[in-house]
Amino acid sequence: MQKIGVIQGDGIGPEVIGEARKVLDVACERNGTSLDFEEFPLGATHYLKTGEVLSDETVSRLEEKDAILLGAMGDPRVKPGVLEKGVLLRLRFHFDQYVNLRPVQLFDGVPCPLAGNDRKVDMFFVRENTEDFYVGLGGRVGRGKSRAELDLVRKAYEAKFDVGIDLKGEDELAYQIGVITKGGADRVVDFAFKLAKEKRMDLVTSVDKANVLTDVYGLWREAVERASKKHGIAKEFLYVDAVALHMVRNPERFKALVTPNLFGDILTDLGAALQGGLGFAPSGNINPEGISMFEPVHGSAPDIAGKGLANPVGAILSAALMLQTLGHVKAAEEIERAVRDVLAGRKHMTTDAGGRTSTSAMGDAVASGLRAL
């Protein structure tokens, strides 16, 4: 029996995770799979009651799990970043979940903002999840803060460019440092090429901005070159702005994309928009050799929490992605098929896609469709 840690989280998190659990129960029953779920009451309510964001004891208990299923983090009662960094990012880094996997597929029956009704979009993003501009190296200098720090920044800048930096009066300087290591790039790029080979794809698109950020993304390109030769799969290098353009004009050209952290964060939400909205988008924070965490990407949406308006499809598909990663491929495929059948029927659609189906009714529809397969 595999052990799953469940963090419902904030806002609509408990609602969508409830529907994902409902569908998981049916899928497991159909396939003779046993999962042992344990709830962890992390989020705004727990923080406001106890002052605790994420304890070392809770992390230790999560270390005993085979996977984590997460709803959403964020609440207007708590300063932005406290929960997101304290829970979500801490877990990603602690469990070294260096791959963020985001499938982007169009669903029959779901309105798509692209012109034409015969678009065939089926791509996946492999986003590096622990490096780049998310490592937290940076700061602000000025208004009486460390002049020594300013001197260090100035010297580093002027060593590269013949431009002076000086702060006068109330002026400030802010800087953020992006970091990519050879090991970090190699492992996520290798994952992308392996996945492309498994899916019988013959091209991996690498996303960067190496024409401007030459050092970090020059190293990134070297990793892509090595993986392409190793796996015998062709690669192409595209700048992030070109990828954004093609995703709108010709998204069918993409199958597998591997991206540094920041660019992947942005482009995958563009991919969700193509799908019909964030409510349809699943994701997995994956450590292939360790504990992975799966979550819908829509956030906590506190304005609709408790109203039965949330779309649970992203959470349900995240649960399917969890099953697939745990080795239950047939059960995962059946959930995906049930979701597709329900959406194609157009009878059940939540408000974000122009329908009136409630959160629980959508979960019921997918569960019923799954039983009928």
| Positions marked catalytic | 134, 209, 241, 265, 269
Whether 69 and 6 have beta carbons less than 8 Å apart is answered as: yes
Amino acid making up residue 171? D
Residue 269 Cα distances to 127, 141, 188, 303, angstroms: 12, 32, 20, 20
Residues 6+ apart with CB under 8 A from 101: 124, 125, 126, 127, 283, 284, 286, 321
The two structure tokens encoding residue 235: 């690669």
Tokens 């093609």 identify what position?
246
Tokens 């702060």 identify what position?
167
What is the total residue count of the chain?
Answer: 373
What whole-number distance in Å separates Cα of residue 313 and Cα of residue 373? 18
Whether 325 and 292 have beta carbons less than 8 Å apart is answered as: yes
Residues 6+ apart with CB under 8 A from 239: 207, 208, 209, 210, 211
Tokens 């969508």 identify what position?
16
Whether 20 and 294 have beta carbons less than 8 Å apart is answered as: no
